[in-house]
Amino acid sequence: MKKRAIGYNGPFVSEIGLGCVGMSRLYGNADRSESIATIWAFRSRGGYHSPRSCCTSN
């Protein structure tokens, strides 16, 4: 997966992002184990997922 830097000296992140809003119960019940499996599958294919978010709902 292609990577690009954020800013001049920022970290390299994947060009393709993973939208996680559906994993936050915003649209209804979320399956925690399926959400975790999705994040791990994304990371195993070279995607970068930050554990931080500006919008959390736990």
Tell me the pLDDT tens digit for each residue of 5-48: 888 888 888 888 888 888 877 888 888 899 889 989 988 988 87
Q: What is the pTM of this model?
A: 0.66
pLDDT given at position 33: 92
Q: Where are the domains of the chain?
A: 3-44
Which own/partner pairs from 43-50 qualify as long-range (CB within 8 Å, at least 24 positions apart)? 45/1, 46/1, 46/3, 46/14, 47/1, 47/14, 47/16, 47/17, 47/18, 48/3, 48/11, 48/12, 48/13, 48/14, 49/18, 49/20
pLDDT given at position 41: 92
For residue 53, name the pLDDT band (cuts at 50, 70, 90): low
pLDDT given at position 52: 62
